[in-house]
Amino acid sequence: MQKFDHYTPWALGLVFSVLLQACSLSSHPVGPPAGGKPVSSAEMERLQEQPGPIQLQTINSADWSVPLSGLLNLKSPAAMQAGLVDREEPIQVYAHVIRHPQRGNYLVDTGVSQQLVDDPGKVGLNWLIRKGMGMEKMKLQKSTASILQEMGGKLSGVFFTHLHIDHVSGMPDIPNDVPLYVGPTESTEKNFINLFVHGSTNQLLQDKQRLQEWGFQGDAQNQFEGIVDIFEDGSIYAISVPGHTSGSVAYLVRTTRGPVLLTGDTSHTRWGWDHAVEPGDFTRNNARNLQNLQRLKALVARHPQMAVRLGHQP
C-alpha cells in the first residue's frame, strides 16, 4: 500500500493530463493560418447592395429531430412568455454548395454521409454518442457523396461554421486532399463535455487535411468580433460569431441573386431567429451566443434584401 501511495500523485497527474488533452474537441492537427484578408464591417457592408459572382445552393442532406431545449434557450423571457416547453423539434442537416467562377467549388459544412447512417460505429460514433444524439431518428435525404457527384467539378475546400458532429457528419465522403477551414480555437479549446465527442471527432477527421483557422482581427466599427474577406474579392466573408462554440463562424455570400447570410448554429431555428433567442443546452456560452445573434440580426436589419439561412431550419 505504501508503494502504491508513492506513485499515486504521478498516476493521477498522468490521467489528468490525458483527460485535459481529450477535453479539446479534437486533437486533429491545426495547420498554417487560412488565407483571406481581414476587413472591417464597413468594407463588407459597402458591397452588399451589389450582386456578387457566387452561385449558392443549400441542400437538405438529412431530416432529424432533437430536443427543443437544445435548440432554444427555454429560460429566456421570450420563450417563457410564449409558453414554450421541451419537445422533439424537427430539423434538417444542411450542406451549402458554393460555386465561384474563378476559385472553384466549396462546401459550407458537409451534410451527412451514407456511411454514417448505415454504420455509425464504423466511422467513429460510439454507442453513447449515437444514443445521446438520437441517430436513429436521422433520415438521409441526400448523402454528401451524392452532393459532391452533382457538384460538377473538384471540391476545393470546406468552410465549417463549427465542428459539432452534425456539421462534420459528411467527412467520410470528403476527399483527403481537400483543405478544411475553421474559426480560431474551434478544435483546441478545452471543455469537459468534449471528452465524450473527442474520439468521434478525431475519427471523422482522420487522414484529412490539417485545419486552417481564419485570421480574424478587430472590426474598426465594432459590429463584429472579426471579418475575413475569404477570396479578397468581396464575394464571401467569414464572420467571427463565437458563443455556440468558441470558434463559431457565419458566412456572408454575395450571390448572383443578392447577399445570403449563413448563420450556422448561432441560430438553429426560425423561432429563435425571429424572436432573438439563442440556442439552449447545445450552446457553450449563451450570453456570447446571444450577443452575436443580435449582431447578425442587426446586419440583416441594415440590409433588408439579405436572405438568411439558419443552422437547422428553413
Q: What is the pLDDT of residues 215-244, one digit of tens each?
A: 999 999 999 999 999 999 999 999 999 999
Nine cell digits for residue 14: 498522468
Q: What is the pLDDT of residue 192?
A: 82
Judge if pTM exceeds 0.85.
yes
- Length of the chain as a residue count: 314
137-155 b/e with 16+ CB inside 10 Å = b? ebebebbbbbbbeebeeeb
Is the pLDDT assigned to residue 292 strictly greater than 60?
yes
**Superfamily name and number for 2-309:** Ribonuclease Z/Hydroxyacylglutathione hydrolase-like (3.60.15.10)
By CB neighbour count within 10 A (0-12 exposed, 13-18 middle, 19+ buried), where does 135 fall? middle
Reported as a single tens digit per residue, the pLDDT across 17-53 is 544 555 899 999 999 999 999 999 999 999 999 999 9
